[in-house]
Amino acid sequence: MQNTSEFYCAYCGETNLTFIDLSGGNQQSYVEDCQVCCHPNILYVRVDEDTLDIEIDTEYAG
């Protein structure tokens, strides 16, 4: 099952939309490039087990 969520680029601060694979677990991390400035961001994804609310923190990758 997939869901979408937004994150803010750690470099330029722009909002990005990403797909979250809920079958990947309640805590995930991976690198995704910003759709605006193309810099890589490390995404730290947390999914609430009960509500399936998604929180994403980002940091510079590089």
Provide the number of structural domains found in the chain.
Answer: 1
Task: Show Cβ contacts of residue 24 under 8 Å, excluding neighbours closer than 6 positions.
Answer: none
pLDDT for 62 = 77
> Residue 53 sits in which domain range?
2-60
pTM of the predicted model, to two decimals?
A: 0.89
- What three-state secondary structure class fits 61? coil
pLDDT for 2 = 65
pLDDT tens, residue order, the chain (62 aa)? 669 999 999 999 999 999 999 999 999 999 999 999 999 999 999 999 899 999 999 999 87
